[in-house]
Structure 1
Amino acid sequence: MAEENRRIDMHAHFYGGGLVETLQSRRERPYLRKREDGVTVMVAMNGEFPFTDHYHDPLVGLAEMKSAGLTHRMLTFPGALGVDLLPANEIATAISDYNDFLAELGTQSAGALIGLAGVPLDDLELACAEVRRIRRDLGLPGIILPSNYFNSLQEAATLVPLLEAANDHGCHIMLHPGLKVGQEPPPLPADFVQYRLSAVDLQSSASQVALTLILSDIIETYPNISFQIVNLGGTLPFIFERLESIARHRNPDLPFPTEKLRHLWYDCASLGPRALEAAVRVLGADRIMLGSDYPIFKDDPYAHAVAPAKLTEAEKEQVTWKTAHRLLTRLEDLRQKP
């Protein structure tokens, strides 16, 4: 396919690969159930939603990709669901089978589908072994982790063995909103739950994660890990000047490291042209990738966010596929190193 026609979606989720059967057998969140009206719903941590074929049928997803003009899509383990937090003796085999399925999807789709694996976080030894397996044996680019592990340095330190394994094998890590092992969902807001949780709180969470990475030495300690922050880094493109002002007035000898934001990778999932314009100015088009958040959102991410944005054609091309292509090429080079 001609390079100028590529469109690489770097933020989508997949609930198939054997997870349907696993979730149907459960009776505690997360699980699948059939309502009296015959509709199958996913009972998740913060509510429930209709579980359509878009969530678990790769053929449905591929058809949707084609209709949106997408040429490639990174499908991730459904991290926000909390499956990877379950006791390892219950879920490790199912996660391993799922990762095998992702690798097979990549082969069957001639590389159009790119899998981002899950790991059983209840057992870090098993999780480290799975990181090595998915990079060395399956050739998947990396893993998805719940971002609550990166709300502070102390929390991130609990994953040091996993980060070391990921660094050893040159791993991509998407930090996606999600709970830690043993963590209970916070109380629901008193009103306007979807907007408060799925927009305001989520964007704040993404910003907290990025702050942990750029204000610490994590990026330098693990140089072979590429960290992806979802949704354009949350609120950071819009509040970085306030962060710089705080440093200038309260810590004049320690400026806020705005430039380190460009050491991370971002997607524009579920956001639009105005947000993308702001993020490109701060983060750079060469650090931002197309993202849909499919199947939760079904907008064509190019038509919805990139095409109407007031960006140069070179910047649009960068976001649409060049940034992702460069990242994926780097990851494959790292995997091939002895």
Structure 2
Amino acid sequence: MTNVDVHQHLWTGSFVAALRARTEPPFLDGGDGGDGRDRWTLHTAGEPPYEVSPADHDIARRAELAVADGLGRALVSLSAPLGVEWLPSGEARPLLDAYHEGAAALPRPFGAWAAACVRDIDADVTAGDLDRGFAGLQLPANCLADAAGYAHCAPLLDLLEARGLPLFVHPGPAADASPRPGWWPAMVPYVQQMHAAWFAFRAFGRPRHPRLRVCFALLAGLAPLHGERFAARGGAEGRKEVDRNVFVETSSYGPRAVDAVVRALGTDVIVQGSDRPYAEPPQSPGFGLGGAAAYAFRIANPRRLLTGEG
């Protein structure tokens, strides 16, 4: 048994080099490759340029932080808002290969989620990536927002179900590049994507994949708090019991939001995720709900999500 954070981001040298090799979004420029003193500038198709601190992706420093956080395992994932998964396979593959190469070589306590091209689905390639010991597969929420998305991604989800591995649903790229405050993507399109993905899984994902374990980032955009409205409008479907194989993680939220989701879902399907380095882990592991909640969020529930046991 170990404390787990299911949601962190850590760019390895191979992935940084692959981003630097590009001249179209997503790409990285500025600095000299990561000596901790320069700034990197990230360019994506749907967001303003973003200044990235190389120190945030220093592997030794991040390992020390994970230990200081009391973690026995920290799962990193591809930054899906970059839009890598949505590129044509010929463009996506070098970035995905670089990500998998670096992530598979990370030292303890790190593990990682695999990633896949969603424009051109290739389950055989993803199977090979999963063979390298990844915890499961991350997919962007905006590829799982409706029936067509679930039909398109079915080969990948079938693969996970057959192997007993979980799916991690993370916000994908923000589509609107019009002028907005820098915080807008995190507060509007990311949340909207997660909200849609939560209900799309209920409507289309679970009937097609009855054994799949899935975790939604950022408390599924607080979609579970709409349970009363769903019960009023969704009839018998809206009154079903909580699905114990559908989890939400806590990144960027604090005690008030987590307490509200606990009231909606209970403590059995909430797992800790921090989104480090973009957000800090909670100061109180149980979000003020007590030691039993901390044990559930950090140990018991992540174990069930990742292994199906417990």
Alignment pair present for 1:295 and 2:277: yes
Shift of 1:101: 2.9
CA distance in 1, matches of 2:92, 2:212: 25
CA distance in 1, matches of 2:18, 2:266: 41
Would you say how many aligned residue pairs link Structure 1 and Structure 2? 305
- Correspondence for 1:264 among 246, 258, 261: 246
Deviations 1:242-283 (A, max 9, x none): 222233xxx5xx451452454411100110011111111222
- The sequence identity of aligned pairs, in percent, is 23
CA distance in 1, matches of 2:152, 2:56: 31
Give the letter aligned to residue 226 of structure 2.
I
CA distance in 2, matches of 1:77, 1:63: 21
Shift of 1:220: 4.1
Q: Which residue of 2 aligns with 1:150?
A: 144
- Correspondence for 2:257 among 269, 275, 278: 275
CA distance in 2, matches of 1:154, 1:77: 24
Deviations 1:135-180 (A, max 9, x none): 3x3121211111111111122212122222222222221111114x
Give the letter aligned to residue 44 of structure 1.
T
Between 163-172 and 285-294, the greater mean CA deviation after superposition: 163-172
Alignment pair present for 1:16 and 2:4: no
Structure 1: 5+ residue runs without aligned partners?
334-338
Q: Residues 289 and 172 of structure 1: is their aligned pair in 2 closer, same or farther, counting only changes over 3 Å?
A: same
Verify the 8 A CA contact 1:232 1:268 in the aligned structure 2. Answer: yes
Q: Which residue of 2 aligns with 1:336?
A: none
Shift of 1:55: 4.6
Q: Which residue of 2 aligns with 1:44?
A: 44
CA distance in 1, matches of 2:117, 2:197: 21
Alignment pair present for 1:186 and 2:181: no
Higher helix share: 1
CA distance in 2, matches of 1:93, 1:67: 34
- Correspondence for 1:328 among 285, 306, 310: 306
Q: Which residue of 2 aligns with 1:65?
A: 66
Q: Which residue of 2 aligns with 1:211?
A: 199
Alignment pair present for 1:316 and 2:294: yes
Q: Residues 315 and 308 of structure 1: is their aligned pair in 2 closer, same or farther, counting only changes over 3 Å?
A: closer
Verify the 8 A CA contact 1:85 1:122 in the aligned structure 2. Answer: yes
Give the letter aligned to residue 20 of structure 1.
V
Verify the 8 A CA contact 2:8 2:77 in the aligned structure 1. Answer: yes
State the Cα RMSD in Å: 2.6
Q: Which residue of 2 aligns with 1:197?
A: 185
Q: Residues 257 and 139 of structure 1: is their aligned pair in 2 closer, same or farther, counting only changes over 3 Å?
A: farther
CA distance in 1, matches of 2:201, 2:232: 20
Give the letter aligned to residue 175 of structure 2.
P
Alignment pair present for 1:118 and 2:115: yes
Structure 2: 5+ residue runs without aligned partners?
32-36
Alignment pair present for 1:27 and 2:23: yes
- Correspondence for 2:132 among 135, 138, 144: 138
CA distance in 1, matches of 2:120, 2:193: 25
Give the letter aligned to residue 170 of structure 1.
G
Q: SS at the partner of 1:235? A: helix
Q: Which residue of 1 aligns with 2:155?
A: 161
TM-score normalised according to structure 1 size: 0.81
Give the letter aligned to residue 112 of structure 2.
G
Q: Which residue of 2 aligns with 1:235?
A: 222
Q: SS at the partner of 1:140? A: coil
Verify the 8 A CA contact 1:76 1:117 in the aligned structure 2. Answer: yes
Q: Residues 54 and 129 of structure 1: is their aligned pair in 2 closer, same or farther, counting only changes over 3 Å?
A: farther
CA distance in 1, matches of 2:243, 2:188: 21
Shift of 1:96: 2.7
TM-score normalised according to structure 2 size: 0.88
CA distance in 2, matches of 1:255, 1:123: 33
CA distance in 1, matches of 2:73, 2:95: 25
Q: Residues 21 and 191 of structure 1: is their aligned pair in 2 closer, same or farther, counting only changes over 3 Å?
A: closer
Matches within 5 A, 1:69-88: 69-88=70-89
CA distance in 2, matches of 1:225, 1:287: 14
Q: Which residue of 1 aligns with 2:209?
A: 222
